[in-house]
């Protein structure tokens, strides 16, 4: 089960199927309507433009079993060393350690990019995801009660964070430019 760098041409349809399953059948995404393939173009473009990975795990036949990525946590320059990640595993492949492998790889890549903090937003009823994050060194850092409404009930969103290391970013001015 090697890691692969996901691309639009090869993986957009499989990623879309995994996301739409999560939208329709879970609270992993606080979204109501399935996404279209056209929505994947700007999603991939934003990942490329931001230098953010889209990492997948395939089976021996090349079927995408799961993927993970990270991106902007908040859009202001002071947050540039903090990212929010997402991991989704196709329902047919859960409980095989794929989520753990993806999360570990995202942490490795973020650390190599000199990022400092990784955030995960998790529905408070998602015990498996919470356990995974805690096993990987993430700690709870807050809950937003009634952050979303789906399936006829209010949803509470827990945030988990992991400090990735002692990243020492270059000194930046208020505009995000390096200071000499």
Residue 44 lies in a domain: yes
Residue 175 lies in a domain: no
For the chain, percent of residues with pLDDT exceeding 90 = 86
What's the rounded Cα separation, in Å, for the pair 67 and 99? 8
> How are strands ordered across the β-sheet holding 82-89?
3-5, 54-58, 64-72, 82-89, 117-123, 153-163, 139-150
Domain tally, the chain: 1
| Containing structural domain, residue 92 | 3-163
25-to-17, 33, 143, 168 alpha-carbon distances in Å: 12, 11, 22, 41
CATH of the domain at 11: 3.40.630.30
Q: Let me know: does 133 contact 100? Beta carbons within 8 Å.
A: no
CA atoms within 13 A on the CB side of 94: 11
Cα 120 to the center of its chain, rounded Å:
7
Residue 169 lies in a domain: no
Average pLDDT in the 56-83 region?
94
Name the nearest CA neighbour of 91 among 163, 26, 31, 159.
26
Give the torsion through C-alpha atoms of 154, 130, 88, 21, to 10 deg: -30
pLDDT digits (tens, 9 = 90+) for 9-49: 999 999 999 999 999 999 999 999 999 999 999 999 999 99
Q: What is the pLDDT of residue 52?
A: 96
98-to-2, 31, 64, 107, 133 alpha-carbon distances in Å: 11, 24, 11, 14, 13
What's the rounded Cα separation, in Å, for the pair 135 and 7? 29
Residue 56 lies in a domain: yes
User: 114: pLDDT confidence band, cut at 50, 70 and 90?
Assistant: confident
Residue 178 lies in a domain: no
- pTM across the whole model: 0.90
Residue 121 lies in a domain: yes
Residue 12 lies in a domain: yes
Residue 76 lies in a domain: yes
């Amino acid at each position: 089960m090697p890691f692969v760098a996901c691309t639009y041409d090869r993986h957009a349809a499989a990623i879309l199927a995994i996301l739409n399953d999560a939208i329709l059948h879970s609270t992993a995404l606080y979204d109501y309507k399935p996404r279209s393939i056209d929505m994947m173009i700007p999603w991939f473009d934003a990942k490329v433009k931001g230098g953010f990975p889209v990492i997948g795990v395939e089976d021996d036949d090349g079927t995408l079993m799961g993927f993970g990525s990270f991106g902007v946590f908040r859009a202001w320059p002071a947050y540039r060393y903090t990212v929010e990640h997402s991991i989704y595993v196709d329902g047919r492949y859960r409980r095989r350690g794929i989520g753990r492998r993806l999360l570990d790889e995202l942490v490795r890549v973020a650390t190599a990019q000199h990022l400092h903090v990784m955030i995960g937003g998790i529905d408070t009823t998602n015990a498996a995801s919470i356990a995974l994050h805690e096993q990987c060194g993430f700690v709870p850092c807050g809950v937003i009660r009634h952050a979303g409404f789906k399936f006829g009930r209010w949803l509470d969103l827990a945030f988990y964070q992991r400090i990735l290391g002692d990243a020492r970013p270059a000194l930046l001015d208020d505009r995000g430019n390096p200071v000499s």
